[in-house]
Amino acid sequence: MKKIGLILFLFLIFTPIISWAQTNNLEVYLFYDPECPVCFAAQKFLGQLKAEFPQLEIKSFQPFRNSSSQQLYFSLRKAYQLNADISVPVIFIENQAFTNFNNTTKTHIRQTVIRCASQKCISPLEKISLSEPTPLKKTISPYFFILPAFIILLLGFKFFKKPSN
């Protein structure tokens, strides 16, 4: 009976971990210039969305002041097939790039966030990897480790139990 209780206890511990790994985090990449008033409005709007959607991850970059940000900016522009004359602000979210910031853009961004809050959406960085021909990447699912860890734990209880008097 104790073993069944232990198994049930471990199942209840691992279930929230599995569901936590499945939450839909949504990445938004904002490229801006601190002296740009339209960029400030975009930052303010994204901050309001973040308050409404906690899973929203806003990653802000200044492409004209930092070389690594500039490299990412150009990689994303290429992946999203944007013209070379695009300036800031530029917002990358899922499969979309927003180059003008106005009320229509706000509506489209909000709709995308709502959709991505309820279903899995790709990160803009995934769009870069999809647009560039690269060798297949093998990734290991977190589930790969759960079952072996559970089996090792159960075997540990079987072989290292205290002798009964």
| CA distances from residue 91 to 15, 17, 23, 77, 136 in whole angstroms, order as listed | 35, 32, 22, 10, 28
Number of domains the chain contains: 1
- What are the start-end ranges of the E strands in the chain? 26-31, 56-61, 90-93, 96-98
Residue 2 forms part of a structural domain? no
Q: Is residue 8 part of a domain?
A: no
What is each CA distance from 85 to 7, 77, 134, in whole angstroms? Answer: 60, 10, 27
pLDDT given for residue 20 in this prediction = 40
In a domain, 149, yes or no: no
CATH number at residue 77: 3.40.30.10
Residue 16 in domain: no
Give me 40's structure tokens.
């400030």
Determine the structural domain holding residue 115 and report its residue range.
23-135
Instruction: Classify residue 76: in a domain, yes or no.
Output: yes
pTM of the prediction?
A: 0.67
Position 74 in a domain: yes
> Which of the pair, 58 or 3, is modelled with greater confidence?
58
Kindly indicate the confidence band of residue 19, based on its pLDDT and cuts at 50, 70 and 90. very low
Q: What is the mean pLDDT of residues 34-56?
A: 96
| Mean pLDDT, residues 137-157 | 69
